[in-house]
Structure 1
Amino acid sequence: MDISLFEQYESNVRGYIRSFPAVFDTATSATIVDVEGKRYIDFFGGAGSLNYGHNHPLINQALITYIQRNGITNALDKATVAKHDFISAFQSIILKPRKMDYKIQFVGPTGANGVETALKLARKMKKRSNVIAFTNAYHGHSLGALAVTGNEFYHGDYYDVPRNVNKMPYDNYFDHDMDSVDMLRHYLGDGSSGYELPAAVIVESIQGEGGINVASVGWLQKLSALCKEMDILLIMDEIQVGNGRTGDYFSFERAGIMPDIITLSKSIGTGMPMSIVLMKPSVDVWSPGEHTGTFRGNSYAFIAGAAALELWRNDDFSRSIRAKGKQVEAAFKDFQARFPGWITDVRGLGMIWGLESLVEGFCNEVSKQAFQRGLMMETAGASDQVLKFLGPLVISETELNEGFEILTDAILAAVAVFEKTGRTPCAA
């Protein structure tokens, strides 16, 4: 099968095919096979949409059963058995045990749709247009979501509309001790700062695309308290780091906070298009039909999502995520020790980790070498300076260890390439 067909007929905008140039065919758990029969260990995880792996048997069987009985496919926002069962499972398995009182809004099928909905709802409720977002944030590519996304690569003079958004430093953005929540409080209390009282603050508890930046518990708690004090809605973007990625179902659980609005997508549909917005009942100020979307009734995603939630009925799955996360952390810290100067930092939590290199282009070279050897692993950060682990939560120990072995060889190969051209590691 000729991969050149995609170059000939698909738009230049295609991205991941350039990093992973193969025609993929089948996959199970965290292993993908291309049309030539070559195996790849998946440390990419569909950019966080495949937390439950490829073709999980529990999910596959639920879909097969539903399709074979001619279950309805798309019902927009009409009532269906598939939606009923998803809502019931989400309330009983996820929300009620955590004493979380939230209503669910089904929106268009992407994470950006969820972010757009959250911003629109917050502005409607508070009757204020300004929103606070953070450096290195990533919230999507549609115009509203793009306005709160940080990376300048995604902005342009002609198609970007970053209006009514103020950016603030994320936790630990500065090398020296400076608290950005205190800074925000000062700005909002100063009539000459140019910062209007916002309708909402939108934040990720861990910035995935931004470079695996982990907000501290104290910073999240302080931000939540400021929002309550100043009548600002707190929106938590859980699209990539929720759905169990950190070991808890929601990544902000470790801080003991209750956001006003939560966005979920990616793995909520187990890889099938689905996005939801959770809101406290007092925030649900919509009029019927005021916000719509044709594919907000994707029944296949409801069926798959409800099946995946069964993994959360007890603590076993959460414990397994934490245990595997410790394996990844140990392996990554070993890489840092073995390759000083080439790898300058290790950051993460649960099953999201990053290897940072301050040597320009090094992480891209490692990713390239890894793919050639059978490992899919992408980069993150404003300068692609972080190698990002986002493998499925169900990855086996065998797959993990095989991936670590390939990554070792890839780092060695990248070092050899750089040394051959005279490029050196950063000083320790």
Structure 2
Amino acid sequence: MTTAPSPLSVFDSLESEVRSYCRGWPAVFDRAQGARMYDETGRAYLDFFAGAGALNYGHNNPVLKRPLMDYLLRDGITHGLDMATTAKRAFLESFQNAVLRPRDLPYKVMFPGPTGTNAVEAALKLARKVKGRESIVSFTNAFHGMSLGSLAVTGNAFKRAGAGIPLVHGTPMPYDNYLDGQVQDFLWFERLLEDQGSGLNKPAAVIVETVQGEGGINVARPEWLRALADLCRRQDMLLIVDDIQMGCGRTGAFFSFEEAGIAPDIVTLSKSISGYGLPMSLCLFNPELDVWEPGEHNGTFRGNNPAFVTAAAALDAYWADGQMEKQTLARGEQVERALLGICDENSALGAHYRGRGLVWGLEFADKSRASAVCARAFERGLLLETSGPESEVVKLLPPLTVSAEEVDEGLEILALAVRETS
């Protein structure tokens, strides 16, 4: 008697052990639309992960799919290095008109490569080139990417260990509320900068996330971010905001730092900048920092023209009238109300929540509970992931285009999953 092979057998036998998301979601997915994914048996799953933030506008959004299909069908340029193309021009014009001009931001736009860590590497390299210094300051529980420069400013010990070599020229400082409000903001950092005996090399830049996504949904207060920006100005350090996961509207405004009223020297974007989940990243910086020599930083896949097409379509459709921000904030309030109810019901478990816009985290006194909740949610048809250094936080990251009804549906499943794992 022969038995049919498991639908996951080829992945188990051939794909590297490094794979991760598929272990928590043991299904073979076949198609997706909006806020839902479907496995090959046709079972639907509500997606509250959205490609780790790469799908802010949902799966296969028809507003973006149609321009992409038209572009491909007319044999539009697919691979363009850094050549001038009509697709790139359309994106740059849309980005300038929908994002930069309304916010009075003078940034130059650099296409450093297809992924977020490419943008971070470019930002770090540029800061060092401009200032002539090597050291970069980052923050506890930061995550900035998996290549060596990005790992050097990442806090997670497990991810850092994967480098296999010493990670140098990065110095961590306490993130907002890391010391539970017992120490004045930046007291330690500023003292080290001013003390000639501290041993801290003068940094070229400080890199920060306004909300630490992978670090556990840690939300920096606007006043903390303003104080950081002021410190950078006074100490002649560039301020880099990593907006790879929290930008493109995730917290409400297009850039996550807008609420704080700051204007970073350098900004990194990726994930949802293409709108469709296609690889694309940007490094934005003030014009006086544009000291690159032609070809000094390049990459074969920095000209992903199909991504330019969908990116321009997303900007034109969702960022011309301000409605996207209003909808995201409204959905965020809906999520917060539900999380408050879940925490009230599970106060004995030490449940508490935090977040902004449409990124939220739910944590329990028992750090292992987050993984159990996510596993149970998957069984009930909801895709959730954990975050934090010990995977102790249930992370909610639905598409910004999710409907109010879908939000309620997902939160009801989450509440059941918490109840059933108590």
State the TM bucket, normalised to the shorter chain. Answer: over 0.9
- Which structure 2 residues correspond to residues 6-405 of structure 1 after superposition, within 5 A? 6-156=11-161, 159-270=164-275, 271-310=277-316, 311-405=318-412
Secondary structure of the equivalent of 1:251?
Answer: coil
Give TM-score scaled by structure 1 length: 0.95
AA in 1 matched with 2:223: G
Deviation by residue 1:297-318 (Cα, 9 ceiling, x = unmatched): 0001100111110210011111
Secondary structure of the equivalent of 1:187?
Answer: helix
TM-superposed deviation, 1:159: 1.8
Q: RMSD of the TM alignment (CA)?
A: 1.1
Secondary structure of the equivalent of 2:415?
Answer: helix
AA in 2 matched with 1:163: V
Work out the CA distance in 2 between the residues paired with 1:325 and 1:396.
12
- Could you tell me whether the CA contact under 8 Å between 1:45 and 1:53 is conserved in 2? yes
Work out the CA distance in 1 between the residues paired with 2:160 and 2:272.
26
TM-superposed deviation, 1:144: 0.4
Secondary structure of the equivalent of 1:325?
Answer: helix
AA in 2 matched with 1:275: S
AA in 1 matched with 2:400: L
AA in 2 matched with 1:152: A
Give TM-score scaled by structure 2 length: 0.97
TM-superposed deviation, 1:154: 0.7
- Could you tell me whether the CA contact under 8 Å between 2:140 and 2:174 is conserved in 1? yes
- Could you tell me whether the CA contact under 8 Å between 1:345 and 1:355 is conserved in 2? yes
TM-superposed deviation, 1:158: 6.1
Work out the CA distance in 1 between the residues paired with 2:374 and 2:150.
28
**How many residues get paired?**
415
Work out the CA distance in 2 between the residues paired with 1:98 and 1:119.
24
TM-superposed deviation, 1:157: 7.8
Q: Which residue of 2 is the match for residue 425 of structure 1?
A: none
AA in 1 matched with 2:336: E
- Could you tell me whether the CA contact under 8 Å between 2:373 and 2:417 is conserved in 1? yes
Gaps of 5+ in 2: 1-5
TM-superposed deviation, 1:397: 1.5
AA in 2 matched with 1:289: G
* Residues 1:155 and 1:66: Cα distance change in structure 2 (over 3 Å): same
TM-superposed deviation, 1:113: 0.6
Q: Which residue of 2 is the match for residue 412 of structure 1?
A: 419
- Could you tell me whether the CA contact under 8 Å between 2:148 and 2:163 is conserved in 1? no
* Residues 1:160 and 1:58: Cα distance change in structure 2 (over 3 Å): farther
Deviation by residue 1:215-245 (Cα, 9 ceiling, x = unmatched): 0111100100111111100000000001100
- Could you tell me whether the CA contact under 8 Å between 1:335 and 1:343 is conserved in 2? no
